[in-house]
Amino acid sequence: MTKFEVEPVTPTCRRIYERGDHALIGVSAGNSYFHQERLGSLLAWAEEHFNMVDVLYIDTHIDAMLIATGLTPAQAGSRTRSMLKDVRRRIRRALEKTSGTAHGRLRVRSMSECAQLPAYQEVLRRLDRDFDDSGPVRRAAEEQVRELLEHHSVPVTEHSADSVQIKAGLAYVRSEIPFLLDTPAILGVPSSVTCYHKLMPVVTALYQEPGSPGRSARQGFLVVSPEPVAAPDSPPQQTRSRTRRKQLTLTEQYDEIAADYTDVERVFSTYRSLIEIPSLLRALGPVDGASVLDLGCGSGAYARLLRRRGAAEVLGVDVSPGMIEVARALEEREPVGVRYEVLDAADMPVLGTFDVVVAVAVLHYADSRATLARMMRQTWANLTPGGRFLAYVGNPRLPADSAQMNGLVVHRPDNARDGDPSPLTIPTTPPTTLPARYWSCETIEKTLRASGFTDVVWEPLDGLPSGAQEPVNLLVSARAQPVGAADTAAPSARERAPLAATAAQ
């Protein structure tokens, strides 16, 4: 279960926290930070520390926000219903980890329900005096909305506060602020702390700016974030987890990345669409009627792609519960018929006999030759005889500390040997460094053949810009040979690994 760091923003907030009367946990419909496992851990933590806990999910102003981003009213309505269905499901399943509901200590409320309370409306009227005068909280709310729109790459039609996007965002943020001012009055509790995983501009304004609307002396705010996990050989660290993701295990790092799915898409979408997807589809060929297993599926981008291209059955597996939560949420929002499971590629059981297995950026996380071999043996065990295996693996020819067109930076020692650390830094916010390893083309080939594969080929890559030195990943394909069959002397895959000049043609 996830452990949390707790940071009250002021000494008064600490005293309110230590009283333990009440906690309010707000969950936004579109925020995948609160995946089911993390939310369950957070509720269990809150149940342990507070006499009463309210989970508040935001169900107002979502459609207006979506329309402001360019969706039609019909599309926005459909997307809103799907998002709310997803957030209610996450909360319901997270509650299964707690006992508070049985004792009436843990309640779930919607914003639309709370907005009807007379005490909420009174606090909102107090807030509106600041908004009408463009006071410090109004200015902080605009800053918060602009950061959100920029983060989600939403173009703002005007720079003024009158733009459609800013107005929609302000309505959304405004509805939340009363719970930062006086939750005790609104919900009838002795004192309360609002819990969130980061500090927001509005909170900073409320606690630091002179002239802000008066907060209740019984109202506090906590930054509650996942506790950092030190590497096995590292000394204890005091740095906050949200600025040091590299301290976490690979699974926990991908859970952290999953917390902001749009950030991940910003990093990978261009490289994926221009190079990875066209190259893989060309190498794979038609998938009509095929069964597909996607190893390390992440948010399910390739699983959904192959299902839409005619695959009859697609199963995605990933070691990160957070990523699987994102994938399942996307499937629930726009169903295409993909199943997802939390499994480790090195230790998964036989899940079926698949025609195709794909593994995008998975093998280079093997931390030893034994782990690499287990990944490949388990892959072979899940393939039908003659089935295809296609994998993107870290390019061993990349020079040390080289940056790629999608912003990835590969940190590699000179004269690297198999199994040496070759960390990848991903330009998320904050940057994430993942513990990849160096594996030579020869070792990949030998391990594939030793694991029951034949016809090992390094496939050419499409779409590389002219003048590019090396792609960040190479694409290897192989076939699962039947038990007892001899390798048919496939040509050396290294000899067929494409040079960038060839791939760019």
What residue type is assigned to position 134 of the chain?
A: S
The candidate with the shortest Cα–Cα distance to 25, out of 186, 197, 188, is: 197
Angle among Cα 207, 208, 210 to the nearest 5 degrees reads: 110
Residues 466/504, Cβ–Cβ less than 8 Å? yes
The burial of 160, by beta-carbon neighbours within 10 Å (0-12 exposed, 13-18 middle, 19 or more buried), is given as: exposed
The candidate with the shortest Cα–Cα distance to 450, out of 380, 395, 396, 386, is: 380
Alpha-carbon distance of 315 to 354, in angstroms, equals: 10
Residues 375/363, Cβ–Cβ less than 8 Å? yes
SS3 state of residue 71 = coil
Q: Which residues in the chain show pLDDT less than 70?
A: 1-2, 30-32, 68-70, 99-104, 148-162, 209-213, 227-268, 400-408, 428-431, 464-469, 484-505
pLDDT value of residue 489: 38
Give catalytic status of residue 241 as yes or no: no
Catalytic residue among 28, 32, 192, 241: 28
| Superfamily name with CATH number, domain 250-504 | Vaccinia Virus protein VP39 (3.40.50.150)
Residues 83/105, Cβ–Cβ less than 8 Å? no
| Alpha-carbon distances of 106 from 47, 49, 109, 279, 419, rounded to whole Å | 7, 12, 10, 50, 48
CATH number of 4-227, picked from 3.20.20.70, 3.90.1150.10, 3.40.50.11710, 3.40.50.300:
3.40.50.11710
Looking at the chain, the domain(s) classified CATH 3.40.50.11710 span 4-227
> Which tens digit of pLDDT belongs to each residue from 296-329?
998 899 999 999 999 999 999 998 887 888 889 8
> Which tens digit of pLDDT belongs to each residue from 91-149?
888 888 776 555 568 999 999 999 999 999 999 998 888 787 777 888 888 888 777 66
Looking at the chain, the domain(s) classified CATH 3.40.50.150 span 250-504
pLDDT value of residue 500: 30
Alpha-carbon distance of 294 to 301, in angstroms, equals: 10
Residues 291/253, Cβ–Cβ less than 8 Å? no
> Which tens digit of pLDDT belongs to each residue from 152-188?
445 555 555 457 777 877 888 889 999 999 999 999 9
